[in-house]
Structure 1
Amino acid sequence: MEKLVQKYYQKLDRTQLGRVRSLMDEIDWSNRFIGIKGARGAGKTTLLFQYILVKQLPTSETLYVSLDDLYFTENTLYSLADEFVNEGGKHLLIDEVHRYANWSSELKNIYDDFPDVQVVFTGSSLIHIEKARGDLSRRAVVYELFGLSFREFLAFSEISQFEKVTLEDMLTHHVEMARSIVSKIKPLAYFKDYLSYGYYPYFLENKDAYQQKLMETILIAMSTDLPPTYNLSYASIEKIKQLLYILAESVPFKPNITKLSERVGVSRNSLLDFLRYLEELRIVRRLYADTKGIGLLQKPEKLYLYHPNISYSLSYQDADIGSIRESFFISQLSVHHPIEYSTVGDFRIGKQLFEIGGKSKSQKQISKEQNAYIVADSIEIGHKNKIPLWLFGFIY
């Protein structure tokens, strides 16, 4: 255990508080059992260490461990927790839980047997977290760390700090909001950069290598997270990669499941499963006309890449700007709002209808609709029901 403590101190000493995710303030840290899920590279490990610093946890009563450490080849997580508690430990932070075979059952036992210790765990495999959530639901409160919003990207890039806004306030006061922001920065000067490489914090390491790293992260997620969870063969993983390649060149589109399954060479049900796997990995997003009562074998109305950066990483030709705009809108709004596909405009959120387009987008398609809005790219400030696309990046 001494080596684990040394590694913990070394990582803690390298942690800085200059860039802290908004989720830090949204998590109720008074809970004794907290889970944080999120795609690879979202910043979960950094969040754990910043939690120690922000809340000023006593380092002698706190321990961080990653379950991919070689220590756990000969030691159990439960035995570590037992030793930690006996030495006065109060806060056990556990990273990469999906790397440990019996993590959910051992975490339950730790929670039940050591009532004076707080457990915070993270997992890069959202699939593993979701499959275990039923077992942990009566105990753990699970949050998701999404990629950076455009607002967070501006802060992490040290351009400017802004407060979050609500969708309701934006729809009513978007002109005033945009004018206030534009008086401080030129948002369009940074918006294209965000769309290209700003979703994950590791853009700070090397912007030029970001697309390559994102591609590698996606391939690793498919190759390592899917097979043990769904008992998939190497051949199935290759089929999923083929499907992703097809989607990257085609989204957004209304899928013909029969034709798509024939092209990939799998059954209809297998194709629907593959699409679900890709969404669980936060690579593809399925959109339905009605978000109520969605079944596992229900065909999605439309398919999108999960966030704009993926389009630039996977596309072997110029990324489609219409797809980029819509992917951005969904990625920002879906964090707090259920989004439905609409046959009139592009998207529906509750009673509001949204049509996405360029700065010259007309009102024609939504002219007969109430509570309808044009979301326009390449404009700084909107007018009446026409709102700048970039402003929706301030929702979270």
Structure 2
Amino acid sequence: MEELLAYQGSLLTFFHSNWYRYLYPEILVDERLVGIKGLRGVGKTTLLLQYLQQLMEAGVKAIYVTAEHPYFYTETLFNLASLWNSYGGKALLIDEVHKYPDWSRELKLIYDGFPAMRVAFTSSSALDLYRGEADLSRRLETQLLHGLSFREYLSLYYQIHTEAIGLQDMLKDPYQVSTALVKKIDKPVLPLFKEYLQKGYFPFAKDLRPERVPQRLIQIINTVLESDLASIQGYSASNVTKVKQLLGVIATSVPFEPNISKIAEKMQLGRQTVNVFIKHLEDAKILNLLYEQVGGISQLQKPGKIYLENTNFLFCLQSNPSVGTIRETFFLNQLRNSGHQVSLSKKADFLVNQVYTFEIGGRSKDQSQIQGVEQAYLALDDIEYGMGNKIPLWVFGFLY
């Protein structure tokens, strides 16, 4: 116990962060068991340490641990919780719980055995928190931390603070929304948007030289494949190699319209194995899969198109990604991250919430593709102000 408290004290000595992600208020809800999932590098550890500070300032006796600490070579999470409870501890915060064997079973025991203790933990986005050895579905509140929105990027990098804007408000009056944002930003917004698309999705990039960002992103992808998926899905070394090859095929041609049979033949894998690998890459937030419909049987279909999860991945995996791919990747990412359903549209690029049709393009894009389609909109790059059914693409970066 002493070494864990010493480790926590050392972390807090050098931890200074007064900028908070969009999810921070959500973990302060009065839930006894909260799980925070997310891609590596999006700020889960920072969020947990901020939560620790808030609890301590409120007089709650709390302890932070990482599941990778050598303490757990010989001790269990349950024994730690029992000891912390005997010391009067009221909160246990666990970082990277997916690195701990039997995490679900012991969390269930802690939840049932110490009803006065609050537990929050982080995990890889690849981990299905409801499919552990023990059933946590009735006990667990799950939150998903995404990368930075364009709104958060402006706040973190340029101290330009704005509130999130609902999709309905954007669609109702694009001119008023875009005008108010341009006035608030008070800088040329389009160059800032281009910066964000290249290096603004991950908070850590703020402290790196721009030329180092692609290398760090590739490290994140490799770690997800070699560590997270390998441990969570039980990948062998050969499986990791195959998944990397598959990602390489997809990354060079996104948005990728998959022919699963050809991919399987080329990689000497079964069709079902390829489908499973693609689904794992989606779970790990490396890919975004787009289906012809959402919900129900959609997960039994092959995806209609495959995108990388965010535009920063595009720039690190392609030397010169196409403008159209960048635009579509951004739109899909920001809409899904803000909780909206997105599927393939038969008339245009995307169907949102099974109601709104969107065609993505540049400032010269006309209405021909969506002519006669109800509730159809153009999301246009390289414009600052919206009007009618034309909405600046960058405005969708304010959804969360």
Aligned to 1:111: 111
- TM, length-normalised to structure 2: 0.95
Aligned counterpart, 1:280: 283
Q: CA deviation at 1:281?
A: 1.0
Which residue does the alignment assign to 2:330? 328
Instruction: Kindly indicate whether the alpha-carbon contact (under 8 Å) linking 1:215 and 1:313 is maintained by their aligned counterparts in 2.
Output: yes
What letter matches 1:103 in structure 2?
W
Task: Please give the alpha-carbon distance, in whole angstroms, between the structure 2 residues aligned to 1:294 and 1:59.
Answer: 48
1:239 aligns with 2:216: no
> What's the offset of the Cα at 1:233?
2.3
Q: 1:10-65 CA deviation, whole Å, 9 max, x = no partner?
A: 22233334311010123352111111111111111110111233455456711000
Match of 2:179 in 1: 179
2:397 maps to 393
Secondary structure of 2:131's aligned partner: helix
* Native 8 Å contact 1:272 1:297 kept in 2: no
Inter-CA distance 353–296: structure 2 relative to 1 (3 Å threshold): closer
> Contact 1:96 / 1:124 at 8 angstroms: preserved in 2?
yes
Q: What corresponds to 1:314 in structure 2?
A: 317
- Tell me the alpha carbon deviations over residues 304-344 of structure 1, each in whole angstroms, 9 at most, x when there is no partner: 111101111111x3111111111100111102101011121
In the superposition, the TM-score normalised over structure 1's length comes to: 0.96
- Aligned partner of residue 127 in structure 2, secondary structure: helix
What is residue 266 of structure 1 aligned with on the other side?
269
Distance 1:133 1:126 in 2: 16
Q: Which segment is superposed worse, 367-376 or 128-137?
A: 128-137
Asked whether the 8 Å contact 1:98–1:125 carries over to 2, the reply is: no
1:219 aligned residue (222, 226, 231): 222
Structure-1 residue corresponding to 2:308: 305
> Aligned-pair distance for 1:251?
0.6
Q: Is the 8 A contact 1:98 1:128 kept in 2?
A: no
Is residue 2:342 matched to residue 1:339? yes
- Answering whether residue 255 of structure 2 is matched by residue 252 of structure 1, we say yes
TM-superposed CA distance for 1:136, in Å, is 1.0
- Consecutive unaligned residues of structure 1, counting only runs of 5 or more, are none
- Provide Cα deviations, 1:85-125, integer angstroms capped at 9, x if missing partner: 11110011111101110111111101100011100011125
Contact 2:105–2:134, Cα closer than 8 Å, also in 1: no
Q: Secondary structure at the match of 2:363?
A: coil
Provide Cα deviations, 1:361-380, integer angstroms capped at 9, x if missing partner. 11100011010000000110
Distance (whole Å) between structure 2 residues aligned to residue 162 and residue 228 of structure 1: 40
Instruction: Name whichever of 13-22 and 108-117 sits farther off.
Output: 13-22
Mapped partners of 1:181, 1:249: distance in 2: 35
| 1:80-159 alignment runs, 5 A limit | 80-129=80-129, 131-132=131-132, 135-159=135-159
Q: What SS is found at the alignment partner of 1:52?
A: helix
Identify the range of structure 1 (142-151 vs 5-14) with the bigger mean alpha-carbon deviation.
5-14
1:195 has 2:201 as partner? no
1:168: how far off? 0.5
**Structure 2 contact 56–62 (Cα < 8 Å) conserved:** no
2:367 corresponds to which of 363, 366, 388:
363
Q: In 1, distance between residues paired with 2:266 and 2:159?
A: 46
C-alpha deviation, 1:225, in angstroms = 1.9
Q: Counterpart amino acid of 1:294?
A: I
Structure-2 change in CA distance of 1:18 and 1:193 (3 Å): same
List alignment gaps of at least 5 residues for structure 2: none
Once residues 74 and 309 of structure 1 are traced to their aligned partners in structure 2, the CA distance between those partners, rounded to angstroms, is: 40
CA 1:130–1:200: 2 relative to 1, 3 Å: farther
Q: Kindly state the Cα deviation for residue 258 of structure 1 after the two structures are TM-superposed.
A: 1.3
Kindly indicate whether the alpha-carbon contact (under 8 Å) linking 2:258 and 2:304 is maintained by their aligned counterparts in 1.
yes
DSSP 3-state at the match of 1:131: coil
Aligned to 2:71: 71
Q: Which moved more, 1:160-169 or 1:130-139?
A: 130-139
Contact 2:377 2:389 in 1 (8 A): yes
Q: 1:32 to 1:133 in 2, by over 3 A?
A: farther
SS in 2 for 1:294: helix
Q: 1:18 to 1:57 in 2, by over 3 A?
A: closer
Distance 2:270 2:372 in 1: 41
Note closer, same or farther for the CA distance 1:237–1:145 as it changes in structure 2 (3 Å cut).
Answer: same
Whether the aligned pair in 2 keeps the contact of 1:359 and 1:376 (CA below 8 Å) is yes
CA contact (8 A) 1:16 1:50 kept: no
Is 1:374 the counterpart of 2:378 in the alignment? yes
- Cα deviations across residues 228-267 of structure 1 (Å, max 9, x unaligned)? 3333322221111111111111010321111222222211
Q: Deviations over 1:181-222 (max 9, x none)?
A: 212232212111111111111102203311111101101111
Q: Give the superposition deviation at 1:292.
A: 2.2
Q: Report the Cα offset of residue 295 of structure 1.
A: 5.6
Q: Which residue of 2 aligns with 1:161?
A: 161
